Amino acid sequence: MNRILNHPDRMVEDMLIGFLAAHNGSVVATGNPRVLKSIYAGAPGRVGIVSGGGSGHEPAFLGYLGRHLLDAVAVGEVFSSPSAKSFADAFAAADGGAGVVCLYGNYAGDNMNVKMAMRLAEQAGVRVEAVVANDDVPSAPAQERERRRGVAGEILMWKVAAAHAAQGGSLEQVADAARQAIAHTRSMGIGLSACTIPAAGKANFHISDGQMEVGIGHHGEPGVQVLPTASARQMAELMLETLLADLPLQQGDRVALLLSGMGATPLMEQYILYGELSAQLQVRGIQVDRPLVGNYFTALEMMGASVTLMKLTPELAAGLDHPCQSPAWTVGALPC
Amino acid sequence: MNRILNHPDRMVEDMLIGFLAAHNGSVVATGNPRVLKSIYAGAPGRVGIVSGGGSGHEPAFLGYLGRHLLDAVAVGEVFSSPSAKSFADAFAAADGGAGVVCLYGNYAGDNMNVKMAMRLAEQAGVRVEAVVANDDVPSAPAQERERRRGVAGEILMWKVAAAHAAQGGSLEQVADAARQAIAHTRSMGIGLSACTIPAAGKANFHISDGQMEVGIGHHGEPGVQVLPTASARQMAELMLETLLADLPLQQGDRVALLLSGMGATPLMEQYILYGELSAQLQVRGIQVDRPLVGNYFTALEMMGASVTLMKLTPELAAGLDHPCQSPAWTVGALPC
C-alpha cells in the first residue's frame, strides 16, 4: 500500500479540508463537520436534494453538490454509512421549507441511518421523502429488487430529481421523479483488481490477475461469477446481456449510458469499453442519447468499470438535459 | 496485468472509436484516423489551437477538444509521438486562414515530428507557430529549461492561448500568450507505483512499495530521488519547495493550482494532497485563485500526482476564466 495520506484514520477529515478549499466558491461547510452543502442549498420554496454515503467513492457523493444537483451531502467514513445525525443535519441544511428528498443507495447501514434521520427530521418539522437506489442488477434477482444495492445509477436519479426541484416541483413530484428515474435504471460492474482501505492496510477481498469478478459491488462485494478476464468486446456483451435481461429494450428505444471507472482504470480503457457498448447497442437498434464516460462513482483504487443504462422517456431525457453545475458534472451549453 | 482491451496493439484505435461515439456532438473524425477535431475547428479568421502527443495520458490530449480550447489533436500510440503527417493534418484541420499554434510537450519525438509537420504546413500555405511546454521542474536545472519535459502545465497553456484566439488575437498574439502562460508555469510529479503499457506486458520501470519517486515523468522517466513514501503534508512541502525555488512567489501573489492524479490515485487522496498544498501556500501568503483537482493528465494506471503552479497575472487569470467547453474541462457559469 503506497498512498497519499497523513494518517489512515484521518483521511475523510483531510479530504474534506481539501475539497472545501478547492471548491469554496460553490460548496460550504455546515455546523456538522460531516455535512457539506451547496451555496444554493435551502432556497426558499424549492425542494432540497440530499444524498450521502461512505467515503472512498469520490467524486460521489460530495462532487455532485452544486447548482440544480445535490444541495447537501452526509459524509461517512471510508465505505461506511454516515451517521443518522449527519443525514438529519443534511436534511436541515437542504430544506427551504418545501421539504427534502433523500436519494441514497440501498445498504443496511444507510437504510438504518436514513430511517432514524427521518424521525429526527419529523420532530424538527422538516418533511423528508426517501428514495433508495437499487440499480445493481447482479446483487439480487429481479423479483427481489428491494434487496439490490445502489450503485452509479444513483447519479442519474439525483440529476432527474434535482431538475424537477429546480423547476418548482412539489415534494411528492420530486420524489416521484426520483422513483421513475431509478425504476428505469440498471447497473452492473466488473472488477479487475481489489482495493485497500488504508485504515485496514490490506484488501478484504481478492481478484487474481487474469480473472474478473463479474457483478462486483462498490465495496468489493462478491459478484455472481469469476471468469477469466475477457476482451472488452466480451465484457460489453456480458454486461448488456445481463442488463437487458432485466431492462428489456426494443429497437428504437433510447438510453442514457453512464460508464464509470472504478478508480484505477485508465480513461483510455473506459473509452474502449464504451466503444464496444455503443456499437452493440446500435446493432440492437438502441440509441445512446446521453453518454457519460469517466470516474463518476469509484471504489478507491479498484480496477474495473460499472455500466449504467437508463431507459429514456421524454421526461427522463429532459431531466438529464436540464442544466446543472457541480465539481463532478456540469450540463449545459455556454452562453454565446 | 488485468485490463480492459480487445488487443494490446489496437488500443488507440479502439479508444478513438469509443471517444468519437461518446462525444459525437462536439468532436469529429477527419480524413486521418489519428487526427480528431472539434466541431468548432477551422472557424474563419480565428487562430487554430493544435496539440498532440502519445496516448495513455487521457483525458489529455483529445479530451480538451472543444469550444474555446483545442481545435485539433494529433494522436500517437501509447506513450509515443504522433507522426509528422498527423501533426500536419491537425494543422490543416484547425486552420481557418489565420494560422495555427501548435502547443505541445517537450519530448524528442514530438519535437522532431512537429518540426517536420511545420515544413509540410508551410508547403501547404498554413502558417504555424509552435510553443513547447517545458514546465516539469525536476527534469532539468533552471538554466537548461529548454531541456525540461512538458507535463500537465500544458493544459493551462492551451486554455490561455485558446482564450486569446477566441477573442480575435492574431497568430503572433496567441503564440505570445502561450509563451507567457508556460513561462509562468511550473510542475512536478511524485510517483507511487509504475504503469504498464499493455503492448509491452510489463512495466519498464519499478517503484517499490513504501518508496516514492520524486520528480517522476509522465512515462515513468526517473525522478531526482527515491525516498521513503512521505505523508501528504511532507509531499506537499517537498513539492512546493521545489516549485517555488524555481518560480519565486511573494506574499500577495496569486496562483492557479492544477493537481492531477496520474491515473490510479483515488480522488480522495488527491483532495488530501490539495488541502495540504492549499494550506501551505496560504501560510506563505499566496492565494490559490483557480484550483483544479482531478485526473487531468494521466499516465495509464500509475499511482501518484503532479502539481502545477501558474503565477497569475491579470491577463493569465482572464485567460483561465474565459469560458470553454470540452469533455475534460468546462469553464463558465450556466445561463440563469
pLDDT at A204: 84
Cell of A321: 438535459
By CA distance, what is B15's nearest residue in A? A272
- Picking from B269-273, B309-313, B328-332, which range would have the lowest pLDDT averaged per residue? B328-332
pLDDT at B333: 63
pLDDT at B1: 79
| pLDDT at residue A131 is higher than 50 | yes
pLDDT at A335: 52
Question: Closest partner residue to A18 among B264, B271, B333, by Cβ?
Answer: B271
Q: Which of B23, B164, B218, B219 is catalytic?
A: B219
Q: Which of B57, B68, B184, B218 is catalytic?
A: B57
Domain ranges of chain B: 11-183, 186-312
Cell of B293: 483537482
Q: Is the distance from CB of B38 to CB of B91 less than 8 angstroms? A: no
Answer yes or no: do A334 and B58 touch at CB < 8 A: no
Q: Is the distance from CB of A305 to CB of A189 less than 8 angstroms? A: yes
Mean pLDDT of B138-145: 95
pLDDT band at B336 (very low <50, low <70, confident <90, very high): very low
Q: Is the distance from CB of A269 to CB of A190 less than 8 angstroms? A: no
Domain spanning B186-312, CATH architecture:
2-Layer Sandwich (3.30)
Domain spanning B11-183, CATH architecture:
3-Layer(aba) Sandwich (3.40)
Q: What angle do CA A84, A85, A87 make, to 5 degrees?
A: 65
Answer yes or no: do B21 and A295 touch at CB < 8 A: no
d(CA A35, CA A76): 9
Predicted confidence (pLDDT) per residue in B218-268, tens digit? 999 988 999 999 999 999 999 999 999 999 999 999 999 999 999 999 999
The percent of residues above 70 in pLDDT, for chain A, comes to 99
**Which residues of chain B have a CB within 8 Å of the CB of A79?**
none
Q: DSSP for B64-92, please give it.
A: GBSBTSBSEEEEEEETSPPPHHHHHHHHH
d(CA A207, CA A194): 6
Mean pLDDT of B119-142: 97
Q: Best of B268, B295, B326, B336 to disrupt the A interface by mutation (most A CBs within 10 Å)?
A: B268
- Please indicate whether residue B219 is annotated as part of the active site: yes
d(CA B35, CA A319): 34
Q: Which of A57, A68, A218, A322 is catalytic?
A: A57
Predicted confidence (pLDDT) per residue in B207-230, tens digit? 999 999 999 999 999 889 999 999
- Please indicate whether residue B184 is annotated as part of the active site: no
Average pLDDT of chain A, as a whole number: 96
By CA distance, what is B270's nearest residue in A? A4
| pLDDT at residue B87 is higher than 50 | yes
Cell of B123: 508547403
Predicted confidence (pLDDT) per residue in A97-115, tens digit? 999 999 999 999 999 999 9
Mean pLDDT of A78-95: 98
CB burial of residue A211 (10 Å; 0-12, 13-18, 19+): middle
pLDDT at A336: 42
pLDDT band at B166 (very low <50, low <70, confident <90, very high): very high
By CA distance, what is A20's nearest residue in B? B275
Q: Which of A164, A184, A218, A219 is catalytic?
A: A219
Predicted confidence (pLDDT) per residue in B18-76, tens digit? 999 999 989 999 999 999 999 999 999 999 999 999 999 999 999 999 999 999 999 99
pLDDT at B204: 84
For the four alpha carbons of A235, A241, A247 and A250, in that order, the dihedral sign comes to positive
> CA nearest A317: which of A228, A271, A254?
A254
Answer yes or no: do B264 and A269 touch at CB < 8 A: no
pLDDT at B51: 98
State the smallest CA–CA distance between residue A143 and chain B in angstroms.
32
pLDDT band at A332 (very low <50, low <70, confident <90, very high): confident
Mean pLDDT of B121-137: 98
Cell of B170: 492574431
Q: What is the maximum span of chain B, computed from C-alpha positions, in angstroms?
A: 54
Q: Is the distance from CB of B186 to CB of B243 less than 8 angstroms? A: yes
Q: Best of B17, B190, B267, B273 to disrupt the A interface by mutation (most A CBs within 10 Å)?
A: B267
State the smallest CA–CA distance between residue B131 and chain A in angstroms.
26
Let me know if domain A186-321 sits in CATH 3.30.390.50.
no
pLDDT at B332: 87
Pick the residue with more confidence: B335 or B199? B199
Predicted confidence (pLDDT) per residue in B272-322, tens digit? 999 999 999 999 999 999 999 999 999 999 999 999 999 999 999 999 999
* ipTM beyond cut 0.95: yes
Mean pLDDT of B123-137: 98
Question: Closest partner residue to B274 among A5, A18, A210, by Cβ?
Answer: A18
State the smallest CA–CA distance between residue B206 and chain A in angstroms.
13
**Which residues of chain A have a CB within 8 Å of the CB of B56?**
266, 268
Q: Is the distance from CB of B288 to CB of B308 less than 8 angstroms? A: no
pLDDT at B335: 52
Mean pLDDT of B165-181: 98
d(CA A158, CA A178): 7
Answer yes or no: do B229 and A2 touch at CB < 8 A: yes
| pLDDT at residue A333 is higher than 90 | no
pLDDT at B271: 98
Predicted confidence (pLDDT) per residue in A320-331, tens digit? 999 999 999 999
Domain spanning A9-183, CATH architecture:
3-Layer(aba) Sandwich (3.40)
